[in-house]
Chain A
Amino acid sequence: MTAKKRAQDPHETGRSARNNERGEGRSKMEEVTMKDKAFLNDLAREGAIAFKSGRLDRRSFLMLCGLAGVATLAVKANDAEAAANEIVMWNWGGESEKCHGDAIGKPFTAKTGLPLKFDTSGPLQGKIKEMVDSGKVTADVCDADGFDAIALGKSGHLEAIDYNIVDKKQIKEGVAWEYGVGVIFYGYAFMYDTKAFGDNPPKGWADFYDTAKFPGKRSLYKWANGSIESALVADGVAKDKVYPCDVPRAIAKIKTIKADSLYWGSGSEAHDMIVNGEVAMGMIWQNRGKTIEERTNGRYKMVMNEAIAMPGAYIVPRGNPAGRDNVMKFIEQALQVDSQLMILDCLGMTPSNPEAFAKIPEAMQPYAINSAQNIDKVIFNDPVWWADNGGDAVNAFLEAIG
C-alpha cells in the first residue's frame, strides 16, 4: 500500500480523527504541523518498506528521506526501516516462543523475508490499551483472548482484519471477528487423582462441585473465566444455555465449595496444586493437563467432558509498526494447516482451521478441543458476553472468593 493510498484508507481517517480529539486544546497551527509530521513519518515508513522489498531503489528512498526532512528523519528512518523489517509477536513466553517461531515464523519468513521477533511479557487487555493510547506501539500481533478482540475492537484499539488477505474459510465458524481472528482454541478442563477416585471417576462439573460424593479440595481459575461457566453447568444449566451467564447463580454455586477451594493464576500454579496433592480435583488448561497425565504416568486424569473452549485470538494493535498488510500475511500463515498442526503438537493448542480438524493425530484426539471425540462435548465460550460483562463478572467472582 502506498502512502497516498494509506492516507485515504478509512482506517487512517479514523486514527487522525482520534488524534484531533486528543489535541482539542491545541491551536490549529500545531494541529497542521502534527498532521504533516504524521504524514511524513508514514511516507518514510512506507518508503522504507518499499525500499526493503525492492519496489524502491536506494536513491529514491534517500531522496524521499531528504524530502521528509533529513534532520528529524535520521532517527525516524532507522525506526521505519526496522519496523518494515520484522514482525513482533506479543505472547506469553515459555514454550510458545519456540513453538510460534517454528510453526508460523519459519514458513512466514521463507515467504516474505520478514523475521519474527517476540515480546513475551503477556498481552493483557490493559497493557494493549496502554500501548495504543501512548502512541508507542511496538507489537504487531498479540496472542490474546477472543473477548479481548471484541472489547478492544469496540474501543478502537485494534486494526480491523483484512479478509482479502486472511481467508475466512480457514477459520472455524463464529471466530472470524471484525477486529481479530480465533487462530487456536484452548480450554478449561479438570483433572482428578485416580488414587482417590479411580473406581468411580468424576464425569463432569456436577461431580467436580459435589464435595460430599467426591471429598477433597478443588482448584479453579482465579480470574473467573471458565470458573463461572463450570459452576453454571454443575448447577444444572444446559450446555447451550450457559450464555448469557447468570453470574449470581454461578457465584452461589462456587460459594458452596468455597471452604474447600483454592484459586490459581498461572498454568504452573494449577499444575503444582494437582501434582502436589493440594487438591483432589483441579481445573486446568487442557494442554497443561496433557503434560500432567504424561509426566505422572496417568496418576492424574483429565476430564474433557464439558470443558470450556476458549478461542485464542490474534489481534493487531492499532498503528502496528510493520504495517497492516504484513501482519495480515502473518495471520494468514498462522491459519495454514501445517502451522496449525505444528502448534497443536508443540503447544497443545487446538486448530481453528476446519480443514485441520480431520488431521488431528490419534494421540492428540483426547486432548484437542475440536477433535471428533471432543467437539460435541465441550462448551464454546461466548467472547461477546465476556467482552461486555467480563469486568463485572471478574470483580463479583473476586469478591466471592476473597
Chain B
Amino acid sequence: MARAPYKGARALNVMATRTSRFNPYWLLVAPAVLLVLALYVAPIVNVLLLSVTDPKPGLGNYVKIFESDTVANLIWRTIRLCLITTAAAVTLGYVVSYAMLHALSHVRRRMMSILLISFWISVLVRSFAWLMLLGHNGLINDLLIGLGLISEPLPLMRNELGVLIGMTEYMVPYAILPLLANMQGIDPRVTSASRSLGASSAQTFFRVFLPLTKPGIIAASLLVFISSLGFYVTPAILGGGKVQMIAEYISVQLLVTVRWGVAAMLATLMIASVLALMYVLNRFMKLSVVFGGVAR
C-alpha cells in the first residue's frame, strides 16, 4: 500500500481509513503543528528546564513547596480564590444564560452584544473601574452612607473580597458562553413534555433541565477555573498588596528578586496542574464533547 501510486482522492481515502498507517491528512496540519511546536512549545520547555537548572541543577526549587510556608500558602490561596470565583461566576453565568435562553430573540441579541462588549474590555480597565466603585470614597460606599445605611465606609477592596468581586465579574462571560451553547442545544420539547406529564416547574428544572446542562456546567467551571489560575492584574490592583496569587508572585521572582528557578518551578506546577485537571475530567467525560466537539 505504501508504495502504491497516489490516485487522487480515492487513494487518500483508503489511506485515511487505514489508521494504523501514516495518515496523509497530517501533512495538511503539519505546518500549523510545527509552528506551534517552534514558537510555543519550545520556549515553554526552555522555561520548564530553568526550574531544574537555576540556580543550580537539581530539584531544589521543588523542595521549596514543602519547605517554604510562603510557597505552600501561595498555592493554597490561589486554589481557594479560584474555586470561590468559579462557583460564583458559574452560578451567576447560569442565571444569565437561563434568562438569555428564554428571552425574546431581539432581547437576547442585545444581551449578547452587551456580553461580548464586556468580554472585550481589558482586565486593567475593569479593575480600575472597580476601584472607583468599591473604594473608600467610591460610588457604593458614598451611596450607602448617603442613604444612612452605614456610618463608616465598608472595606470592599484592598482585601480578598475586592479581589473576588473583580475576578468573578471578569469571569462571568467566560461562564456564560459555554453554558448558553449547551442550553441552546437542549430540545425545548423535553421540558414541555415534563410539564405536560404533571411535573411542577421546579421539578422540571431540577430533574430535567439541570441534569441536561451538566456538560455545560462542567465546561464553564473548567474554563473559569483554569483561566482564574493566571489572574495577575486584578489581585495586584484590588488586593492592596496582601492578596498575592501565583501569577504575581512569579512576576516578582522574575523581575525583582531575580529567582528565575522558583518562578519557573511555579509555572511548571501551574501547567502540570492544568493538564492533570483536564486529564482527570477527561476520564469522566470526553472533553471534546464539553467544548462542542463530536462524541466518538
Residues of A that sit less than 8 Å from B by CB:
124-127, 129, 151, 222-223, 261-265, 269, 272, 276-278, 390-391, 394-395, 398-399, 401-402
State whether A223 touches B252 (Cβ < 8 A). Answer: yes
Stretch at the interface among B6-14, B180-188, B241-249: B241-249
What is the bound-complex CA distance between A262 and B255, given in angstroms? 22
The contact of B158 among A265, A278, A390, A391, by CB within 8 Å, is A278
- Distance in angstroms from B226 CB to nearest chain A CB is 23
The reply to whether B254 and A126 form a contact with Cβ atoms under 8 Å apart is: yes
- Report whether A263 and B242 are in contact in the complex, using a CB–CB cutoff of 8 Å: yes
Contacts of A390 in B (CB 8 A): 257
Closest-CB distance, B7 to chain A (whole angstroms): 46
Residue B203 at the chain A interface, CB threshold 8 Å? no
Residues from chain B with a CB closer than 8 A to the CB of A394 are: 252, 256-257
Q: How far is the CA of A261 from the CA of B252 in the complex (A)?
A: 20
A125, B73: Cβ atoms under 8 Å?
A: no
Say yes or no: A398-B255 contact (C-beta < 8 A), given A265-B236, A277-B136. no
Cα A399 to Cα B68 in complex, Å, equals 10
Contact residues, B253-267 vs A (CB, 8 A): 254-260
Q: Pick the contact of B255 from A127, A264, A269, A272 — CB < 8 Å?
A: A127
Chain A contacts for B158, CB-based, 8 A: 262, 278
Given contacts A126-B260, A399-B73, is CB(A263)–CB(B254) below 8 Å? no
**A125: contacting residue among B137, B236, B258, CB under 8 A:** B258
Complex: A203 Cα to B74 Cα, angstroms: 36
Docked CA distance A125–B258 (Å): 7
Pair B240/A262 contact, Cβ less than 8 Å: yes
Least CB separation from B243: chain A residue: A402
Task: Enumerate chain A residues within 8 angstroms of B136, measured Cβ to Cβ.
Answer: 276-278
Residue with the highest number of chain A CB atoms closer than 10 Å, among B77, B257, B259: B257
Identify A223's interface contact among B74, B237, B256, CB under 8 A: B256
Return B14 CB to nearest CB of chain A, in Å. Answer: 45
Give the chain B neighbours of A223 by CB distance below 8 A.
Answer: 252, 256
In the assembled complex, the CB of B237 is this many whole angstroms from the nearest CB of chain A, namely: 8
Closest to A152 in B: B258
**Selected contact of A276 from candidates B137, B243, B255, CB within 8 Å:** B137
Does B216 sit at the interface, judged by CB under 8 A? no
A277 to B158, CA, bound (A): 13
A399 to B242, CA, bound (A): 9
Q: Which residue of A lies closest to B73 (CB)?
A: A402
Q: Are B255 and A222 in contact (CB under 8 A)?
A: no
B261 to chain A, nearest CB (A): 11
Q: Tell whether B70 is near chain A: CB-to-CB under 8 Å.
A: yes
Tell me how many residues of B have a C-beta within 8 Å of chain A.
26
- The complex places the Cα of A118 from the Cα of B252 at a distance, in Å, of 24
Residue with the greatest number of chain A CB neighbours at <10 A, chosen from B236, B237, B240, B243: B240
Contacts of A277 in B (CB 8 A): 136-137
Interface pairs (12), CB distance under 8 Å: A124-B255, A223-B256, A262-B242, A264-B241, A391-B257, A391-B258, A391-B259, A394-B252, A399-B70, A402-B74, A402-B77, A402-B243
* Shortest Cβ distance from A279 into B: residue: B136
* A13 to B: closest C-beta gap in Å: 26
Across the interface, do B135 and A278 meet the contact criterion of CB distance under 8 Å?
yes
Question: C-beta contact mask, B157-182 vs A, less than 8 Å → 1, else 0?
Answer: 01000000000000000000000000
Q: Is the CB of A125 within 8 A of B241?
A: no
Q: Cβ of A402 and Cβ of B259 under 8 Å apart?
A: no
| Binary contact readout B63-84 vs A (1 if CB under 8 angstroms, 0 otherwise) | 0000001100110010000000
**Top 7 A-B pairs ranked by shortest CB distance?**
A263-B241, A391-B257, A126-B255, A399-B70, A124-B255, A222-B241, A262-B240
Determine the residue in chain A with the shortest Cβ distance to B70: A399
Given contacts A277-B136, A278-B136, contact A401 B242 (CB under 8 A): yes
Chain A residues lying within 8 Å of B240, measured Cβ to Cβ, are 262-263
Q: 15 new A-B pairs (CB below 8 Å) besides A126-B256, A402-B242?
A: A124-B256, A222-B241, A262-B158, A262-B242, A263-B242, A265-B236, A277-B137, A278-B158, A394-B256, A395-B70, A395-B257, A398-B252, A399-B70, A401-B242, A402-B73
Nearest CB of chain B from residue A149's CB, rounded to whole Å? 14
**Which of A124, A223, A263, A395 has the most C-beta atoms of chain B within 10 angstroms of its own C-beta?**
A395
Most A C-beta atoms less than 10 A away, residue of B135, B136, B158, B243: B158
- Contact of A276 with B135 in the complex, beta carbons under 8 Å: yes
Q: Which residue of B lies closest to A400 (CB)?
A: B70
Question: Distance in Å from the Cβ of A22 to the closest Cβ of chain B?
Answer: 13
Name the distance in Å between B246's Cβ and chain A's nearest Cβ. 12
Do the beta carbons of B244 and A125 come within 8 Å of each other? no
The distance in angstroms between the C-alpha atoms of A160 and B243, with both chains bound, is 40
| Cβ contacts under 8 Å, A402 to chain B | 70, 73-74, 77, 242-244
Closest to A402 in B: B244
| CB-nearest residue of chain B to A391 | B257
Cα(A264)–Cα(B131), bound, Å: 14
**Residue interface mask B255-281, A partner, CB < 8 A = 1:** 111111000000000000000000000
Contact in complex: B137, A398 (CB < 8 Å): no
Give the residues in chain A near B131, CB-CB below 8 Å. 272
Q: Return chain B residues, CB-CB under 8 Å to A272.
A: 131
A124–B260 CA distance with the chains assembled, in angstroms: 14
Q: For B252, list chain A residues within 8 Å (CB).
A: 223, 394, 398
Q: How far is the CA of A246 from the CA of B255 in the complex (A)?
A: 24
The CA of A77 and the CA of B122, in the complex, are separated in Å by: 40
- Chain A contacts for B249, CB-based, 8 A: 398
A151: B residues at CB distance < 8 A: 258
Assembly CA distance A124 to B77 (angstroms): 27
Complex partner residue of B241 from A262, A276, A391, A399, CB under 8 angstroms = A262
A391 — which chain B residues lie within 8 A by C-beta?
257-259
**Distance between B146 CB and nearest chain A CB, rounded to angstroms:** 16
